[in-house]
Structure 1
Amino acid sequence: MVSSKITPVFSLAAFAVIHSLTASLPFKRLLVRGLGSRADWLYLPVYSLVAMLTILPLVYQLYKNPGRVLYKIPSPWRWLMVGGQLIASIIAPKAFLDAPNRFKIRSQLSVPQTPEAGSLNIRGIYRWVRDPFLLSGLVIIWLTPTMTVNLLVIYLLTTIYLYLGSLHWESRLIAQFGDEYREYQRRVNRLIPKSWKNAKDIDKFKE
């Protein structure tokens, strides 16, 4: 019983270590030194592949040992939850498309107000919420229609990890964009989407 909970936690911890290491600036500096200009276009697909492969053991363990069922949402509500998960799954790729400059290694390693850092260029989903990846991740996990003991433990730990990751990611964005990003933080929430009126205010802020 205890081992069925510890093993998924260990797998999540291993994933978090690998995920954090490969997302770190020292690792990216090492890539730039070794790959040069190829680092920018090679990093993201390889990073995504590594993340997917390292999360598979956890998914398998939860599939084999989900634990005691805590609740199961009946239809039609469960399908509304699944629909919410599907919508949230679109947010992450949309976030990549709306801010490609945020994910270029050379931009992340630069300092504010330099050509390499680029401009913040707030558009798309970032007019509504500062961290769409955090939002989509939380929606996907917490709208799971069937909740078990093991899932709940992993989801709680994942929520903490995602939130801490969001704090760390924003510290990098401040280093990259400086006061421009601090002003953006003041105007847009990290997680709760802004209203249409506030999104229009962001358009004025960009001008």
Structure 2
Amino acid sequence: MPHMTRLLVLFYGLISYLIFFATILYAIGFVDRLIVPKHIDTGLDGPWATALLVNLALMLIFAVQHSVMARKSFKRWWTQYIPASVERSTYVLLASLSLVLLFWQWQPMSAIIWHIRNEQLATVITGVSLLGWLIVFTSTFLINHFELFGLQQVIQNLSKRNPSAPTFRTPLYYQFVRHPIYLGFIIAFWAAPTMTVGHFLFAAVTTGYIFVGIYFEERDLVDLFGDDYRRYRERVSMLIPWRKSSGVVRSTPRKPVELTTER
């Protein structure tokens, strides 16, 4: 690949990452109804059935893109047409754009399921939601944030370095739950001082999708790591830290334990 092309690949990876970063920041405001011009309950309710179908379709678009493009068979086919160095960046970019579409077209369903009137308690609940987002962000850095979102690949491509050997490791949160990123999302989505029907729909569908994603990811991780991951799965709980940790898992270097198949 010519040097100028490598620079263009790097620029593409950087733009994709910045779009992702802006999107995830907007997602925090969208879910927690903070600052952003349109959050999950913004607007006047329209026909209930229309709102339900539109919102389900928007979440389905994200789920299909997020799952299909993460499959090994799709990546093998896809990288016949694009450089492998931008495969992750392209995945991240399209996932971000599908979320932007969801934010833009989301239909409010503002009937209230529960509402916490006490202001101090409501502030605490919002803080718990923000704690969930913090768990999401810190979990990505505990493994390899920049590889997860495509920057490492384009930087290695620029310097003509082969991808570094992935490693199986379980830092900090991963000693207590196998999927702290997903746990953080669940906390962020459900810790709401005001839960509307629309917010409930969003939280319920995304939580269901998380469990489906975990099923397929763990199957892929067992194929990838074999008995190492089976022992890890027996020792550490999936989402709720109810099992006692017995120390760091050490095994043959291959890939970070956090779920890279569904990303």
TM-score bracket, normalised by the shorter chain, equals: 0.7 to 0.9
Aligned runs of 1:16-27 on 2, under 5 Å?
A: 16-27=63-74
Which residue number corresponds to residue 71 of structure 1? 114
Q: Give the distance between the partners of 2:116 and 2:189, measured in 1 at CA.
A: 14
What is the rounded CA distance, in whole Å, between the counterparts of 1:104 and 1:81 in structure 2? Answer: 29
Helix, strand or coil at the partner of 2:95: helix
Which residue pairs with 1:155 in the alignment? 203
Cα offset for 1:121?
Answer: 1.8
More helix by percentage: 1
Output the amino acid matched with 1:84. Answer: V
Structure 1 residue 118: Cα displacement: 4.4
**Residues 151-190 of structure 1 mapped to structure 2, 5 A cutoff:** 151-190=199-238
Q: Greater CA deviation, 70-79 or 139-148?
A: 70-79
> What are the residue-to-residue correspondences of 1:56-95 with 2, within 5 Å?
56-62=100-106, 64-74=107-117, 75-95=119-139
Q: CA deviation at 1:151?
A: 2.1
Match of 2:257 in 1: none
Gaps of 5+ in 1: 106-115
Unaligned runs of 5+ in 2: 1-47, 151-163, 252-263
- 1:131 is matched with which residue? 179
Relative distance call for 1:45 and 1:79 in structure 2 (3 A) is farther
Taking every aligned residue pair, what percent have the same amino acid on both sides? 25
List structure 1 segments (4+ residues) > 6 angstroms apart after TM superposition: none
Distance 1:189 1:156, change over 3 A: same
Q: State the match for 2:49 in structure 1.
A: 2
**Cα distance change on mapping 1:52 and 1:133 into 2, 3 Å:** same
**Secondary structure in 2 matching 1:189:** coil
One-letter amino acid of the structure 1 residue matched with residue 49 of structure 2: V
TM-score, length of structure 1 as denominator length: 0.78
Alignment match, 1:47: 91
Calculate the aligned-residue CA RMSD, in Å: 2.7
Shift of 1:37: 5.2
Deviation, 1:135, is 0.4
163-172 or 24-33, which moves further after superposition? 24-33
Q: 1:155 to 1:175 in 2, by over 3 A?
A: same
Matched positions, count: 189
SS at match of 2:195: strand
Residue identity matched to 2:205: L
Equivalent of residue 98 in structure 1, options 109, 121, 142:
142
Return the alpha-carbon distance in structure 1 between the equivalents of residues 83 and 94 of structure 2.
21
Tell me the secondary structure at the aligned position of residue 131 of structure 2.
helix
CA positional deviation for 1:8: 0.5
Query: Structure 1's 180 and 161: CA in aligned 2 closer, same or farther, altered over 3 A?
Result: same
* TM-score computed with the length of structure 2 as normaliser: 0.63
Instruction: State the Cα distance separating 1:27 from its structure 2 match.
Output: 2.3
Residues 117 and 177, structure 1, Cα contact 8 Å, conserved in 2? no
1:202 aligns with 2:250: no
Counterpart for residue 254 of structure 2: none
Change (3 A) 1:95 1:30: farther
Q: Secondary structure at the match of 2:247?
A: helix
Distance in 1 of aligned mates of 2:195 and 2:99: 19
